[in-house]
Structure 1
Amino acid sequence: MSLTLDTYRLLGRSGLRVSPLALGAATFGTEWDWGAEPDEARKLFDLYVERGGNFIDTASTYTNGSSERLLGEFARGNRQSLVLATKFSTLRRPGDPNSGGNHRKAMFASVEASLRRLNTDYLDLLYLHVWDAMTPVEEFLRAMDDLVRQGKVLYAGICNVPAWQVSRMQTIADLRGWSPLVALQTEYNLAERSGERDLFPMAREMGLGVAAFSPLAGGLLTGKYTRADLTAPKPDTDTDSTRKEFNLANGALTERTLALADVVKDIAAEQGTTPGRIALAWPLQNPDVTAPIIGARTPAQLEDNLGALEIEFTPAQCARLEQASAISLGFPHDFLAGERGRTMNSGDLMIEPRR
């Protein structure tokens, strides 16, 4: 059964309804050399919303603030119908130590700037963008709760933080009656499945909905790369900033990811569709994922991404993707899921797990 953008899902342990694909607005603006001009960005926004999409993701520093500004312009006519998510904590002013980080001063200043750029009185969802490992968790949680009580933020989320730290935060918020975290944003795709070790089980247990960024692995799963790229000179990241050059420079292009892309291309050929749709459909159909975040620079790219909603895999195709992308969960997860761990607790008894 195919999905549509208006087949809404609940975000974590909340009543908030969001589309099964979120629109990433990091491509709104060309300050990073690979985004969309304002007119093209408007087309992306309109196409997504006209299809029933309501979940849009940005951050305070995406395209140096242009992402939020453009999104604020586009959302002016139907703000109430949209779920706007932004983030704080990345450095906003080089040289100013308090313009970044997870502390109260950085959070309040970033939120006020985001509200102005987005031309709104409130943020539907505010994420902590990157954990700084310095701010006391109580300071972050209490500051977030204050923003919620003030009505400037409706829901709290978190990104790029170890699972043990998130579970600790959620427990503290619960015990003190502070606003809970309802969303976790993390990278997840066929080439990057390490979230399955601890982040996903934690999110299930603690009531956080998962928004998966980079579902196409930065384009690695779309078939645009060949083995000739493995021996290409690595670019200088200080001067070369296109997405392809970024992937080459950070070592994401490997024999493993190329082999995985080959499997994706084969299944796309079987279904008469594009590799991008196959790669995106995989996390989209994972029950642990609330919404993959799609980022496009042109309406044609967005149309292709939306086609993933119609993909249905055969059991054999699922098995091939699983085998090609499988990772070791490591200890204790593999031990606990294995026969030895099970029989130590239950012997030969058959006990159905909690659903």
Structure 2
Amino acid sequence: MTTDHWRSLGTTGVRVSPLTLGTMMFGAWGNTDHAESVRIIHRALDAGVNVVDTADVYARGESEEIVGRALKGRRDDVVLATKFHGAMSDDDPNQGGNSRRWVIREVESSLRRLQTDHIDIYQVHRPRPEADIDETLGALSDLVRQGKIRYIGTSTFLPSQIVEAQWVAERRHRERPVTEQPPYSILAREVERDVLPTAEKYGLGVLPWSPLAGGWLSGRYRRGEDAPVSSRQQRQPARHDPRSPENRRKLEAVYALQDLADEAGLSLIHLALAFVLEHPAVSSAIIGPRTMEQLESQLGVEKVTLPRDVLDRIDEIVPPGTTINDADRGYAPPALVDPDRRRIRR
């Protein structure tokens, strides 16, 4: 990868590769072969990827352990990101969330698993409305001053929550979040309405997750062929069961996008990744390969430029700002999930 392809991580001054290696599929959730997972990480680094993203909750620490093993001797070449928030225990409700108590404790566990003395981007994996954002930012600011983390990031925050975090940081003299990880793909474009413009306004680096829409844009679905069976259908039927009306609409869009990719002489994978990277707010798109073959199919996208007519055709298939299936939003505000939050209690 040449220096021409490096991109800015918001206004941090850090330069990042167009692709970020996401590691959710390394460990019990995907590839259980640690040695092969390490080889995949090394291949990505050798290809010029310089951002590695993981989370404590991915296989409850196993992914972080694999990443730590893979980065031995190469740590200084990588922008290393991890996240906290997800439940790390089935019994103790305090082993998770966004409280100061948990943040201060869990960062030590992540540092140990990652075999490093600092994390470059420590991210709040999801909002937790019952936890005051000042509580979380206060703990994270202390970690920045202690040198244990370099930057604060968020993931799947609503626009109002992004703004609130910036406001609280300014008013309370906290370190502010400098990155956001939203769900973004051709099939899930709602973040184009507010999240991405808000991130641009505040100079945030944007690291979209699921640019291949959880495998829908991997090229596996073709018109006239039976839809492949995926383990995700059992784990996340709302997003992946092709029998639901929302997912049938997604499937029709995928067929049209595959036809477009074929006409453009591209793989659907490169079409999907290049589309996400076209947005001026995006710093680097997170890919999550489980195998070496999947990684190889995604590398090289920095050489792809989508012509205006192809982008216009994409807009016709899935209009800007449209998310076909609400389940692909990644976060449901409690006010929509809990009826008691939108009704007067009598």
TM range (shorter): 0.7 to 0.9
Normalising by structure 1, what TM-score? 0.84
* Counterpart position of 1:28: 26
1:68-147 aligned at under 5 Å gives the runs: 68-147=64-143
Question: CA offset at residue 181 of structure 1?
Answer: 0.8
Q: Which residue of 2 aligns with 1:166?
A: 162
Shift of 1:228: 8.7
The range that moved more, 245-254 or 199-208, is 245-254
Q: Which amino acid aligns with 2:231?
A: T
Work out the CA distance in 2 between the residues paired with 1:6 and 1:295.
24
For residue 57 of structure 1, report the CA deviation from its aligned partner.
0.3
Larger radius of gyration: 1
Indicate yes or no: 2:32 matched with 1:39. no
Q: 1:212 aligns with which of 208, 212, 216?
A: 208
Counterpart residue number, 1:324: 317
Tell me how far 1:96 sits from its aligned partner. Answer: 0.7
TM-superposed deviation, 1:231: 9.9
Distance 2:321 2:301 in 1: 27
Structure 2 letter corresponding to 1:55: V
Residue of structure 2 in register with 1:341 after alignment: none
Q: Which runs of 5+ in 2 are unaligned?
A: 323-346
Contact 2:117/2:148, CA 8 A, preserved across alignment: yes
Provide the residue aligned with 2:231 in structure 1: 242
In structure 1, what is the Cα distance between the partners aligned to 2:3 and 2:108? 30
Q: State the Cα distance separating 1:307 from its structure 2 match.
A: 3.0
Shift, 1:160, TM fit:
2.1
Q: CA RMSD in A?
A: 2.4
Deviation at 1:154, TM superposition (A): 0.2
Q: Distance in 2 between matches of 1:47 and 1:208?
A: 28
2: CA distance, partners of 1:286 / 1:98: 38
* Residue 190 (structure 1) aligned to one of 167, 186, 191: 186
Partner of 2:220: 224
CA separation in 1, counterparts of 2:302 and 2:227? 36
Native 8 Å contact 1:263 1:320 kept in 2: no
Change (3 A) 1:328 1:114: closer
Q: Which residue of 2 aligns with 1:310?
A: 303
Structure 1: distance between partners of 2:216 and 2:153: 28
Is residue 296 of structure 1 aligned with residue 289 of structure 2? yes
Name the CA distance, whole Å, in 2 between partners of 1:129 and 1:52.
26
Range 37-46 or range 250-259, more displaced:
250-259
Post-superposition offset of 1:276: 1.3
CA distance in structure 2 between the partners assigned to 1:230 and 1:270 by the alignment: 22
On the 8 A contact 1:7/1:20 being kept in 2, the answer is yes
Structure 1: segments with no counterpart, 5+ residues: 236-240, 330-355
Q: With structure 2 as the length reference, what TM-score do the two structures score?
A: 0.86
Look up the equivalent residue of 1:243 and give its one-letter code: R
Which digits, 9 at most, give the CA deviation of each residue in 1:194-219, with x for residues without a partner?
Answer: 11121111111112111000000011
The alignment-based identity, stated in percent, is: 37
Opposite residue 15 of structure 2, the aligned amino acid is R
- Letter paired with 1:14: T
Cα deviation digits, residues 124-163 of structure 1 (max 9, x gap): 0000011111111111111110000000000000012221
Q: Are the counterparts in 1 of residues 22 and 288 from structure 2 also a CA contact under 8 Å?
A: yes
Give the Å deviation of 1:295: 0.9
